[in-house]
Chains A and B, each alone.
Chain A
Amino acid sequence: MVTVQSELAIETKGVARRFGARWVLRGISFELQPGEIVGLLGSNGSGKTTLLRIFGTLLKPTAGSARIYGHDVATETDAVRSELGFLAHTPGLYEDLTARENLKFSAMMLGLPAENNLDAALERVGLGHVINERVRGFSAGMQRRLSVARLLLRHARVLLLDEPYANLDTAGITLMNEIITEAGHAGGAAMVVLHELAPAAGVLDRTITIVNGKVAESKPAPVPRVRGPLRAATATAGAGGGP
């Protein structure tokens, strides 16, 4: 992470997105300050993931604009991608590669020094004991942890997390919260798509609720973010790493 800058971490103005005749987003406008961690709430089909995918340069808005640290997500995709860490709902892993090889591929694509911090990232997410095992044999929880390890490699200024607690056990949830909180402490911003607030208690600064493709509510998180020292990582994953 890098130091806080004066520009906004995320800025959206009237973002709308249509799939065929159906408008999924109908003019979303809000701002995220650097260091701010926001939970994005809403029922199924409300447009949360679509919005996250627009921020992640995976979809273009039909109307409106979105900027990540001043870079337009539709026209300055490369600059935006350099700032982002995107944890999608699906793991996006290669099952015939080992855990380490998946990270090695990611490091090569990102231009990180060879073998840099791969094992440390795997140890951090509790996969140190399966470094050289193929992902095909991993449980859903272990695959999620590996996705998180890949996220750690990016040193992103903005984290976009789509249901990050899915398939994670208690230790995994604690680890996820540590990573999100660290991002905030370091001046980065995070947008976390959630179905329920409980796992993210004490992590969020604010929640934004989307209803029918519009911002229905933006308010401080019910349990304010804990700004004290971080807890040490205690997570370990094994056969019970996920349901």
Chain B
Amino acid sequence: MAFRDDVRRIRAIAWKDLTTERRSKAGFNSVVALGVTILVLFGFALGPDAQALRDAAAGAIWLSALFAGVLAFNRSYQVEIESGALDQLLQYPGSRWAIYVGKLIANALFVGLMLLIVVAVGIALFQVKIPTAWPSLIGVFALGAVGLVVLGTFYAAMASRSRAREVLLPLLLFPMLVPVLLAAISATKALLVGDIMHESGAWIKLLAAYDLIFLVATLWAFEYVIEV
């Protein structure tokens, strides 16, 4: 019964966050614009060499998604802070992890859509050829996005009560994301060049393991970061 109540709360929070985001639009547009802009800047920095662009594509795409994602994670708690809604949210009875999972689902859809656009632009901009193992590539992007969203949503909650949350979030998040980024970039890079060394499988397993560990750890720890 209690679990069913938590599922209902998860649905409520995800619905509220997605409805708010869909109505305001400014948030999604600015997050996507930032991601695409960073990609273009990477393109300028790397120069016109097509091979250099292709070699750097995986890193550029993931880093663009990371920087744009930080903006999205900050926004997801900003809407709670602005009018004191976080206090009301914490006033409802029920498990605190339900709040986290609700926000996680909303952020996953939001960041997933952003990543889709960034990847499409990245493929076009960096002249990447779609590999034959494209389903695996989609899996890597999905697993990488999960890792990004799990940690981003968690650390955004931790930073949300600080006045310097915009600065604090990247400082907390980036070091923790290193293993996820390393695995995601390496797996993406390997798949984009045809996985000659058969190394993508190991990176994908590592990425999945990180996702699982971080998900379990953040589900457990969320109560301690959101409650004062």
Contacts and interface: CB of A to CB of B under 8 A. Distances in A.
Given A88-B87, A108-B11, A58 B16 contact: no
A59 B90 CA distance: 11
B90 A58 contact: yes
Interface residues of A, number: 32
A78 B131 CA distance: 52
A155 to B, nearest CB: 13
Interface string A182-211: 000000000000000000000000000000
B84 A92 contact: yes
B93 A56 contact: no
Interface in B84-143: 84-94
A57 B16 CA distance: 23
Contacts of B84: 88-92
Contacts of A110: 92-93
Interface stretch (A79-87, A122-130, A172-180, A213-221): A79-87
Interface stretch (A1-9, A28-36, A95-103, A229-237): A95-103
Interface in B40-58: none
B29 interface: no
A96 B228 contact: no
Contacts of A105: 12, 15-16
Nearest to A78: B93
B87 A92 contact: yes
B5 A96 contact: no
A93 B86 CA distance: 10
B19 A97 contact: yes
A134 B87 CA distance: 21
Given A78-B94, A105-B12, A92 B85 contact: yes
A94 B21 CA distance: 11
Contact of A81 (B11, B83, B92): B92
A150 B12 CA distance: 15
Contacts of B16: 94, 97, 101, 105
Contact of A94 (B79, B87, B90, B228): B79
A21 to B, nearest CB: 18
A111 interface: yes
Interface in A58-82: 58-60, 77-79, 81-82
Interface in B4-51: 5, 8-9, 11-13, 15-16, 19-20, 23-24
Contacts of A57: 90-91
A51 to B, nearest CB: 15
Contacts of A77: 227
A96 B19 contact: yes
Nearest to A105: B16
A59 B87 CA distance: 10
Contact of B9 (A58, A91, A108): A108
B22 to A, nearest CB: 9
B83 A95 contact: yes
A134 B23 contact: yes
Nearest to A110: B92
A77 to B, nearest CB: 8
A56 B91 CA distance: 7
A53 B90 CA distance: 11
A109 interface: yes
Given A78-B94, A95-B83, A60 B88 contact: no
Chain A to chain B: the 6 pairs with minimum beta-carbon distance, closest first? A90-B84, A108-B12, A92-B88, A96-B23, A81-B93, A109-B92
22 contacts: A53-B87, A78-B93, A78-B94, A88-B87, A89-B84, A90-B83, A90-B87, A91-B83, A92-B85, A94-B16, A94-B20, A94-B83, A95-B83, A96-B23, A96-B79, A97-B20, A97-B23, A105-B12, A105-B15, A106-B88, A109-B9, A134-B23
